[in-house]
Amino acid sequence: MSTYNPSEIETRWQKYWLENKTFRTPEDHSKPKYYVLDMFPYPSGSGLHVGHPEGYTATDIIARYKRMKGYNVLHPIGWDAFGLPAEQYAVKTGTHPRDTTEKNINRFREQLQMLGFSYDWDREVNTTDPDYYKWTQWIFLQLFNKGLAYEDEQPVNWCPQLGTVLANEEVIDGKSEVGGFPVIRKPMRQWVLKITEYADRLLADLDDLEWPESTKEMQRNWIGKSIGAEIDFQIDKHEGTEIRVFTTRPDTIFGATYMVLAPEHHLVNKITTDEQRDKVEKYREEAAKKSDLERQELTKEKSGVFTGAYAINPANGKEIPVWIADYVLAHYGTGAIMAVPGQDERDWEFAETFDLPIIRTVQPPEDFDGKAYTEDGPAINSDFLNGLDITAAKKKIIEWLEENGVGKKSINFKLRDWLFSRQRYWGEPFPIIHVDGKPKAVSEEDLPVTLPEIDDFQPTESGEPPLARAKDWVKTTDPETGNPALRETNTMPQWAGSCWYYLRYISPEFDGAPVDKGDENYWMPVDLYVGGSEHSVLHLLYARFWHKVLYDCGLVSTKEPFKKLVHQGMILGEVEYTAYQKDGKMISADEAAGESGVTRVPLSDSDVEKKGERFVMKGTEITVEAKAHKMSKSRGNVINPDDVVDRYGADSLRLYEMFMGPLEQVKPWSTKGVEGVNRFLNRAWRLLFNNDEKSSLKVTDSEPNAEQLKVLHEAIKKVTDDIEEMRFNTAISALMIFVNEANQWDSMPKSVAEPFVILLSPFAPHIAEEMWSRLGHGGSLAYEKWPEYDEKLMVSKTVEYPVQVNGKVRANIEVPADKAKDKEFVIGLAKQQQNVEKYLDGSTIIKEIFVPERIVNLVVKPG
C-alpha cells in the first residue's frame, strides 16, 4: 500500500507555514522585487468554488518560483466584502451584513489555507474594515477636491426590486445583472465621477501594457474615441439658430440630404413648425416613455417625424429637411447628425423608409451591389473634394470648414461619466455633508465616516437609501460654522474598494496615507495580475482611472497599476450527454432545438458513441448532445473543492487544475483527470521512498550517471521555461516524464532527487516540503535556490534524423553526435537505407535538403 498520505502531510505543513510565517513579505528592499496579485474574491456564502483555485494556483506557482529565484515577493490576498448579497440577506433575516461578511471571510480564509497558497497572511485587507474604507473615503475626497466628483440630477437605472440604482454596466438587456430584475429609467440626484476627463490617457496608456490584446481592445471600444468634425447647420427662417452635429465623415457633407435630431434635443421645440407640432409632440412623448431597452428592441424599423424645418447645408447652400428620430441618441456627440444615406447604413435605411433623397459621394467599385457604401474610394458629387480619397477629403473639408467658420475638427468619446452612488446600506459612506443644500467635504481628520447602526436595511418609505433611517447620524453640524448639516445617505458602489486595494497591501498598517510612499516606490507596479475576464472593462478601467488620479496627486509613482495581466479561463462542469425525447420517442438533438414538449434524458458515456462528426446513442443514428455546461447549483454539476481535497489532497487539486490545459482557456472538469495526477504524485513518492510502513528513504549517495543527469537537466530546462511563460500544463507534463524515466533506474541519487523536489514544489508544495524534510533538511524549502540547467549535460551521444524522399518519411537514422552536422556523412548514410534506396532506384536526385539536427529530404524525379 502507498504511504503517501496527503491529508496528514498537508495539514501539518500548512500549520508549519502559518506558525513560522514562512511567507511573510521581506521588509528589506535590497533584492529585486516581484509583486504577484490575484483579483481578491467577494466572500460569498457558498464558499470557494473550483474556479477560484485556478487563478490562485497559477499565481502561487509564480510566487513560489520567484522566491526561489531570489526575488522579494509580495503575494497578498484580501476581501472585496461590500456588496448586495449580504445586504439582501440582512433584509430577509435581520442579520447584520457585518456578521454575515465576517463569517464568510473566515470560511474563505480557511479554504484558501487548506489549498496551501503562500499568501502573506499579515497583509490581508478587507474593504469593509473602517481602517480600510477610511482611505477609500480619503481618495474620494481627492477626487472631490479636484472637481472630478460632482452631483447631478440624471435619469438613472432604477431597479425597484433591488431598491437601488445600477450603473449602465450592471444592466444587461434591461435587467439587473444581479438577480435579473427589471430596470426602469428614473431621474435622481447622484454622485458622478468624471472618468471622461481621463479618457485620452486611459486609451493611450493601454499600448504599453502586457495585457491580452482582446482585453485592451475591449477597453478601447468602451472608451470609443472617434475623430471627426463638428459642423454648424443654419436653420432656414430662424436667423442665428444653428444645429451643431458631430460626424466622423465630414468628407461626405455634400451627400447630407437631411438632418436628424434626437427627440430630446433642445432645439426641437423651437424649430418645429405649427403644422408638424402635433406629430412631433406625440413622437417625443412616446420616445420618452420607452426605456433604453425598448428603444433597442425596435431597431428593426426606423421611425421618425419631420419637424417642418429646413437647414442649410453649409457646403453647397442647399436646403435639407430636419427630422427627429430615436435612432439618434441625445447623449452621444451633439445629439444631432447630418444624415448621409449614401455612406451610412442607418441613414440609408431611414431614407428608404421615408423616401428621402440619396446622393453617393464616394464612388463604389463597379461590382458593388449593396446599399450604403462605407469603404474607401474617390469622392464624387462633392465639388472641390472630387477625386480625393477619404483621408485627403477629410483633411481638405475640415480646412474649408474652419476657414469659413462653420465647423472644426472634433473628437468624441463613447465613454460616459461614472455613476458612483448606490442606494444601499452595505457600502462605503460618502465623506460628504450637505450644508444649505450644497455638498461639502468632511475634513480628513474626521475620517472614517463609519456606517451607522440601523435595524432595517430596506430603503425608507419615501424611497430614500437605508442610511436615511439613521436620523441622528444624518443630522449633524458643519464643524467649521456650527450650522446644521445633513450627511450624504448614498453609499459608494462595490467598485470603490477594489479600485485601490493593490496599494493597501503594500503597507497595510500605514496610517499617514493610503500607501507608504517609500514602499510604494519599491513594490509598484504589480508585475502580474491574474483574474477573470469578466472584469476586462469595469474593474480594470475604474482601477486604472483612480490610479491615474492618485498619480496626479503624487501618491503613486507609476502611470499604470498592472503591468502584466492574465485571465484564467472558466472551468466548466463534467461533459454531459443528453438525449432528447418527444412523445415517448427519442429524437436527434438538432431536431429538438426549438421544439416544444421535449424531454431531456441524461445518458452515461457508455450509452454513447462517436459517429463521424457527432455523438449518437449506441447502435443508432440518434444524435446526442455532448456538452460541458457552466457549473451551477440548479444544474447540480458544481464541483466543491473541499470534496476534492478530502479525497485526493490539495496538491492533487492544484496540480490537476494546472494540468487541464492552458490557463487562459475554458475547459471542462474531469474527476478522472484528478485521479491521474494523484497517481503521478504517488509514483513520485515511491521514487524516493520505499513501500514500507515508514516510507524509508530509497535515495542513495551514488554519483549520478550521464543518463540521469540528462533526464534531470531536460526537466529543469522545460519546467523553468514553462513557468516563465506560464505554460503550467506542459511543465507538469515534463515532471511526469522525469518520473516515468526515473522509475526505470536502478538507483535514485540524492543529487538528482533534490533538484526534482524543488521543481515539483511550486506546483505541489506540501508533498515537496515533506520529501525535502525526509531527505534530511530542516525547515522549509521555500527559499532554496532554484536549480539551473547545464546544456552540456543534455546533449545525446547520437542524433536521430528522419529521412524523407519527396517530403515523405522513409527511414530514421541515428548519427553519432560528432558527425551530426556533417552534411555529406548524414546524406551518405541516409541514401544507404534500404527503405530509402527503394525510392531512389530509377530516379534522379534533383535536390538534397539538409537541416542540421532536424531532417534530411531527398527530392527526386523519375528517370
Partner RNA sequence: GCCCGGGUGGCGGAAUUGGUAGACGCGUCGGAUUCAAAAUCCGAUGGCAGCAAUGUCUUAAGGGUUCGAGUCCCUUCCCGGGUACCA
- Binds RNA (CB under 7 A): choice among 152, 724, 800, 824: 800
Sign of the C-alpha dihedral, residues 290, 295, 297, 303? positive
Minimum gap (Å) between residue 804 Cβ and RNA: 6
Q: What is residue 403's three-state secondary structure?
A: helix
According to CB under 7 A, which residues from 192 to 251 bind RNA? Answer: 213-214, 217-218, 221, 224, 226, 228, 246-249
Q: Which CB atom, from 25 or from 252, has the smaller least distance to RNA?
A: 252
State the nearest-atom distance from the C-beta of 718 to RNA, in Å.
10
Per-residue binding letters, 324-343, with RNA (x by CB under 7 A): --xxxx--xx-x-x------
Q: How far apart are the first and last CA of the chain?
A: 67
Which listed residue (386, 729, 747, 843) binds RNA by CB under 7 A? 729
Site for RNA contains 859 (CB under 7 A) = yes
For RNA, the binding residue among 661, 774, 775, 794 (CB under 7 A) is: 661
Of residues 388 through 417, those in contact with RNA by CB under 7 A are 412, 414
For residue 105, the minimal CB distance to RNA (Å) is: 28
* Coil, strand or helix at 785: coil
Q: Which residues of 331-360 are buried (b: 16+ CB within 10 A; e: fewer)?
A: ebbbbbbbbbbbbbebbbbbbeebebebbb
CB of 752 to RNA, least distance (A): 18
Q: Which stretch binds RNA (CB under 7 A): 202-210, 383-391, 422-430, 533-541?
A: 533-541
Asked whether position 690 contacts RNA by CB under 7 A, the answer is: no
533 binds RNA (CB under 7 A): yes
Pairing mode, strands 667-668 and 571-572: parallel
CB atoms within 10 A of CB 587: 16
Instruction: Report the residue from 441, 629, 676, 698 that binds RNA according to the rule CB under 7 A.
Output: 676
Site for RNA in 568-587 (CB under 7 A): 575
CB of 49: closest distance to RNA in angstroms? 18
CA distances from 800 to 522, 718, 808, 817, 825 (A): 50, 20, 16, 9, 13
Q: Under the criterion CB under 7 A, does residue 174 sit at the interface with RNA?
A: no
- Using an 8 Å Cβ cutoff, are 400 and 384 in contact? yes
**Residue whose C-alpha is closest to residue 377's, from 396, 368, 367, 364:** 364
CA distances from 719 to 282, 612, 754 (A): 70, 38, 15
x-marked contacts with RNA along 733-772 as a string, rule CB under 7 A? x--xx--x--xx----------------------------
Cα separation, 656 vs 648, whole angstroms: 10
Helix, coil or strand: residue 305: strand
Does 295 bind RNA (CB under 7 A)? Our answer is yes
Ramachandran region, residue 451 (left: φ > 0; alpha: ψ -120 to 50; beta: rest): beta
Instruction: Assess 537 for contact with RNA (CB under 7 A).
Output: yes
Closest CA to 506 of 525, 479, 481: 525
Which of the stretches 63-71, 129-137, 702-710, 806-814 binds RNA when contact is defined by CB under 7 A? 806-814
Integer Cα distance of 626 and 118 in angstroms: 38
The answer to whether residue 855 forms part of the interface with RNA (CB under 7 A) is: yes
**Residue number, 38 or 349, with CB nearest to RNA:** 349
User: Which lies closer to RNA via its Cβ, residue 27 or residue 213?
Assistant: 213
CB of 857 vs RNA, minimal distance in Å: 4
> Which of 92, 438, 585, 610 touches RNA (CB under 7 A)?
610
Nearest Cα residue to 687 out of 705, 712, 706: 712
Residue in this structure with the C-alpha cell 494540468, named with its chain if needed:
659
Taking the complex as a whole, the smallest distance from the CB of residue 77 to RNA amounts, in Å, to 26
Residue 848 makes CB contacts below 8 A (sequence gap 6+) with 827, 856, 857, 858, 859
Least separation in angstroms between residue 111's CB and RNA is 24
Task: Report the nearest approach of RNA to the CB of residue 608 (Å).
Answer: 8
Q: Which is nearer to RNA, 315 or 677 (CB)?
A: 677
Q: By C-beta, is 599 or 743 nearer to RNA? A: 743
What lies within 8 Å, CB to CB, of 288 at 6+ separation is 263, 264
* Amino acid at site 457: F
Among 18, 204, 288, 298, binds RNA (CB under 7 A): 298
Q: Cβ closer to RNA: 104 or 804?
A: 804
**Residues 64, 539, 667, 766: which binds RNA (CB under 7 A)?**
667
Residue 683 interacts with RNA (CB under 7 A)?
yes
- The dihedral built from the CA positions of residue 198, 204, 210 and 215, taken in this order, carries a sign that is positive
Is 438 one of the binding residues for RNA (CB under 7 A)? Answer: no
Minimum CB distance to RNA smaller for 498 or for 533: 533
Counting Cα atoms < 13 Å in the Cβ hemisphere of 305 gives 19
**Phi/psi at 850 (5° precision):** -135, 110
Note whether 682 binds RNA by CB under 7 A. yes
830 to 849, contacts with RNA by CB under 7 A? 835, 847, 849
Tell me the closest approach of the beta carbon of residue 328 to RNA, in angstroms.
4
User: At 565, phi and psi to the nearest 5?
Assistant: -130, 135
Total of residues contacting RNA (CB under 7 A): 82
Residue of the chain from 670, 747, 751, 843 that contacts RNA (CB under 7 A)? 670
Residue whose grid cell is 479618457: 199
Omega within 30 of 0 (cis) for the link into 525: yes
Among 253, 309, 660, 699, binds RNA (CB under 7 A): 660
Exposure of 616 in the CB half-sphere (CA atoms within 13 A):
9
**Residue 365 Cβ, how far from RNA at the closest point, in Å?**
15
Query: Which of 1, 239, 355, 367: binder of RNA (CB under 7 A)?
Result: 1
- Residue 757 to residue 688: CA distance in whole angstroms: 10
Nearer to RNA, 478 or 675 (CB): 675
Closest distance of CB 233 from RNA, Å: 13
Contact (Cβ atoms closer than 8 angstroms) between residue 123 and residue 510? no
- What is the SS3 string spanning 240-260? CCEEEEEECCHHHHHHCCEEE
Counting contacts by CB under 7 A, is residue 680 touching RNA?
A: yes
**Is residue 290 near RNA by the rule CB under 7 A?**
no
Binding characters for RNA, 26-65, by CB under 7 A (x = yes): ----------------------------------------
Query: Do residues 551 and 514 make contact, with C-beta atoms less than 8 angstroms apart?
Result: no
Instruction: Please tell me whether residue 546 binds RNA under the rule CB under 7 A.
Output: no
Near RNA by CB under 7 A: residue from 727, 753, 757, 770: 727
Among 439, 601, 802, 843, binds RNA (CB under 7 A): 802
**Closest CB 317 distance from RNA, rounded Å:** 21
Selection from 197, 605, 224 nearest residue 412 by Cα: 224
What residues from 446 to 505 belong to the interface with RNA (CB under 7 A)?
none
The nearest distance, CB 327 to RNA, in angstroms, is 3
**The C-alpha cell of 558 is what?**
507609476
Residue 717 engages RNA in binding (rule: CB under 7 A): no
**Side-chain half-sphere CA neighbours of 125 within 13 A:** 30
Window contacting RNA (CB under 7 A); options: 115-123, 439-447, 576-584, 667-675: 667-675
User: Closest approach of Cβ 612 to RNA, in Å?
Assistant: 9
